[in-house]
A and B are shown apart, each in its own frame.
Chain A
Amino acid sequence: MKQEEFEARFGSRWNEFASWLAARADARSARKAAAGSSLLAGEVPARYREICQHLALARDRQYSAELIERLSRLALSGHQLLYGAHGGSLAGAGAFLLQGFPRAVRGQWAFVLLSALLFFGPLLVLTGALQRYPDFAYTVLDQHTIEQFESMYGDGSKKLGRKRESDDDVAMFGFYIFNNIRIGFQTFAGGIVFGLGAAFYLLFNGVHIGTVTGYLISAGLARNFFSFTAGHGAFELTAIVLCGAAGLRLGWGLIAPGQLRRADALRTAAVKAVPLVAGAALMLVVAAAIEAFWSPRTEIPPAVKYAVGATLWAVVLAYFLIMGRRRAA
């Protein structure tokens, strides 16, 4: 069949498909698109396959480049419409929080464990060691920083954990989001360097937090410090560990790709790691809210804060251990 005849015979069918696609793009729903076009939504897949067939024929018969271009544009649009899954709905977000996130975390338990070791290991070791050698704090942090921490958790302060007591709660909320989630994201991204970046951030934060904790305990400020950190600790520390775990997972894809090419292993690793970061970012938002609006209050007795903190730890752990184990009906 010559090109002219081919176009004359099928051109109107291609145009129908094209106008359906255009209507679909405007209407954003298949039902409305069908109303403005002569094609029924149910006929579209068959029509798409016809276009694929015509494209193959046109290529094989060396029809003009312009015709092939026209057909491949139609085929590409159809391909994107039929095979492009739709997402980003609220229901999807709900399913992620109720099932997807805890499942993803349990699925990567080995990396979560490793990440927790890298973070809590130095944290606990330094906290303990500083009870014996408090001066070691000056090896890790400079004098100015230490004095700042002492004043933040000093007995006289009206609001705990603030460099300036006058700092506004909302401003601090914004700052915690801006700063902490960024660090979480960087920890994950650093993991692509064979996991080294993630490991570095985990160790660095473990050492830093361990030193501050140890020093403040040895300075007799434990009560103030823990009554501040008790509330948001469950969310913030867990989120740091999860970001680190995601970074380590990413790096492990490159270190030990298994049967895959490294490029494919990296992609597979990212698919498994990204839910951890997304969930951790949401946890950091919760942590920022607690840290800004609840933790600094000195009028709340420490005992209440400890109780709330312990409850939140229990909630977080239960969430990751229990949620999403049953298949959704």
Chain B
Amino acid sequence: MMLDTARDVPTPEGIELSLRVAGPVPRAYAWVIDLMIRVAFAFSAQFAIGRFGKLGWGVLLILWFGLEWLYPVFFEVYWQGTTPGKRRMGLVVLHDDGTPVRMPASLTRNLLRAIDFAPVLYGFGLFAMLLSRDFKRLGDLAAGTVVVYREPATQHAAIPNAPPSMPPVSLSLTEQRTVLDLATRTASLTPERAQELAALAPHLTAGLQGQAALDRLLAIANYLIGRKG
């Protein structure tokens, strides 16, 4: 848990919400996707407007300005904290307190790209990200924003049904939690791996081997969550 990238945000209701901070690599991918979109857009605009001669150049320059500076701000503020690239990578920009990013903070973090980008390809930004706890580049530090993973869609990995049985010894809360975690994950593990993990708790499985040991743990898990036989 110490090495986790979760960031806890306390709320007025007295609970802590957990945000999962995104590191430099997915953010770089998101930036590249956005860059490609912007370049593609600039090229097609140039193709379309370029033939209007000098008047067209004026429009193009304004468009370039918009793509360079306002594109990320516009999307972050009006598209729930994501740009197309961030959305593709499953990232979202939030204020430090977990609320959706708004204009002042978005403007701050995106104008400061000018410094984060220096001296080459987000050199300073990367340096700041590696030094700060929540992978913040300078723009994030000044704006008070974090880039986090959007929560994954609900995957209902329910605990498999089994006739409940009482554990042979009384379990601490952490031990109960471990058994429950294993039971939840059984569906996504190969049977061999699940059995291997089940074998790590011999005092609960009482000498049972392989699938029998796993079944015994599932039965205990069913008991722990309170299913009736």
Contacts and interface: CB of A to CB of B under 8 A. Distances in A.
B60 interface: yes
Nearest to A166: B54
Contacts of A181: 65, 69
A76 B17 CA distance: 6
Interface stretch (A144-152, A205-213, A265-273, A305-313): A265-273
| Interface footprint category on B | 35 or more
B169 interface: no
Interface string A1-18: 111110000000000000
A258 interface: no
Given A3-B225, A274-B104, A175 B61 contact: yes
B180 A189 contact: no
| Interface footprint category on A | 35 or more
Interface in A21-74: 48-49, 52-53, 55-56, 61-66, 70, 72-73
B13 A182 contact: no
B88 interface: no
A139 interface: no
A277 interface: yes
B114 A76 contact: no
Interface string A187-226: 0111011000100000000000000000000000000000
Contacts of B19: 76
Contacts of A88: 77-78, 102-103
B11 interface: yes
A124 interface: no
A84 B58 CA distance: 38
A245 to B, nearest CB: 15
B173 interface: yes
B50 interface: no
B55 interface: yes
Nearest to A170: B58
B225 A171 contact: no
Interface string A67-109: 0001011011001100111011000000000000000000000
A171 B98 contact: no
Contacts of A79: 11, 17, 98-99
Given A62-B176, A88-B78, A266 B61 contact: no
B18 interface: yes
A87 B65 contact: no
Contacts of A1: 226
A174 B62 contact: yes
B49 to A, nearest CB: 11
Contacts of B11: 52, 75, 79, 83
Contacts of A2: 224-226
Nearest to B172: A62
Contact of A263 (B54, B98, B102, B141): B141
Nearest to B177: A62
A175 B115 CA distance: 23
B174 interface: yes
A169 B108 CA distance: 32
A173 interface: yes
B107 A274 contact: yes
B112 A192 contact: yes
A18 to B, nearest CB: 9
B15 A55 contact: yes
B55 A186 contact: no
Nearest to B12: A83
